[in-house]
Amino acid sequence: MREIIFDTETTGLDPRAGDRLVEIGCIELVDRRETGRNFHAYFNPERDMPMEAEAVHGLSIQFLSDKPLFASRVDELLEFLGDAPMVAHNAAFDFGFVNAELVRAGRPALDMSRMCCTVQMARKLHPGAKHSLDALCTRYGIDRSHRVKHGALLDAELLAHLYIEMTGGRQIGLGLGAEAAPASRPVAASTAGVVSSRPYREPRPHAATAAELARHTEFVATLNQPLWHDSP
């Protein structure tokens, strides 16, 4: 089954009030495994960038001024999305902005039946708990130490890991072959050919130390008539 995990960054909270999409990041999953394919793009919003929004994602209007308009990459985006279900955190927000841009570009809006919201999933799984992406990554042990500001592709990568865990869990990057693990593992390759990687961490040793074994032997010697000494 093919699914698209995606996230957006915007100039504000409401496309009906003139706020625009400025970044989208999409990760492809097949059978709940990352394939390495993604779509990532920045867009010129053709308007100013409020300070509050820039403080969240760090995208200034100076940075975005030479980026393409949404309409110039809409065909590429739609081809990548295909007809796959689309997963987002607080999905109604992201769908609202993508659909507003699609309509502005003269394209049909996405069918909302394709939408899967991980916030709604989290509310059912963990009622009463915090449901932000950061809080859920902490709950599921997903490393987000490299996340300084919001970014659509980075947040989509974190959400892909979270979605896999929330839907049953699967060790990401698990290899069953005899080869030794590489020094680093690719996490995602952008459409520009940039590959981000994270260092491979060797498993922690869990065997008892010599000192621990000695203390255990001393403790066992103090037991009075242990059961395993009884005759059958």
Please indicate, yes or no, if residue 149 is contained in any of the structural domains.
Answer: yes
146 labeled binding residue: no
Per-residue pLDDT band at 212 (split at 50, 70, 90): confident
The domain total for the chain is 1
* CATH code of the domain containing 33: 3.30.420.10
Q: Is residue 188 part of a domain?
A: yes
46 is in an annotated binding site: no
229 marked as part of a ligand binding site: no
Given the residues 40, 89, 150, 161, select the one marked as catalytic. 150
Tell whether pTM > 0.85: no
Identify whether 220 is part of a domain: no
Instruction: With respect to residue 229, please indicate whether it lies within any of the assigned structural domains.
Output: no
3-state DSSP call for residue 150?
Answer: coil
34 in a known ligand binding site = no
- Confirm whether 150 is a catalytic residue: yes
Identify the pLDDT of residue 200.
60
Can you state the percent helix, strand and coil of the chain, rounding each to 5? 40, 20, 40
Give the domain extent around 102: 2-199
pLDDT band at 55 (very low <50, low <70, confident <90, very high): very high
Judged by phi (left if over 0) then psi (alpha if -120 to 50, else beta), residue 105 lies in: alpha
Q: Which residues contact 72 (CB under 8 A, 6 or more apart)?
A: none
26-36 confidence digits (pLDDT tens): 999 999 999 99
Each residue of 220-230: pLDDT tens digit? Answer: 788 777 766 66
The verdict on residue 210 lying in a domain is: no
**Mean per-residue pLDDT, 96-103:** 98
Q: Are 29 and 109 in contact (CB under 8 A)?
A: no
In a domain, 215, yes or no: no
Mean pLDDT of the residues in the chain: 85
7 is in an annotated binding site: yes
pLDDT at 192 over 50: no
Task: Evaluate whether residue 131 is within a structural domain.
Answer: yes
pLDDT of 231 over the 60 cut: no
Whether 66 maps to a domain, the answer reads yes
pLDDT in tens, 136-181: 999 999 988 776 567 899 999 999 999 999 998 765 444 444 343 3
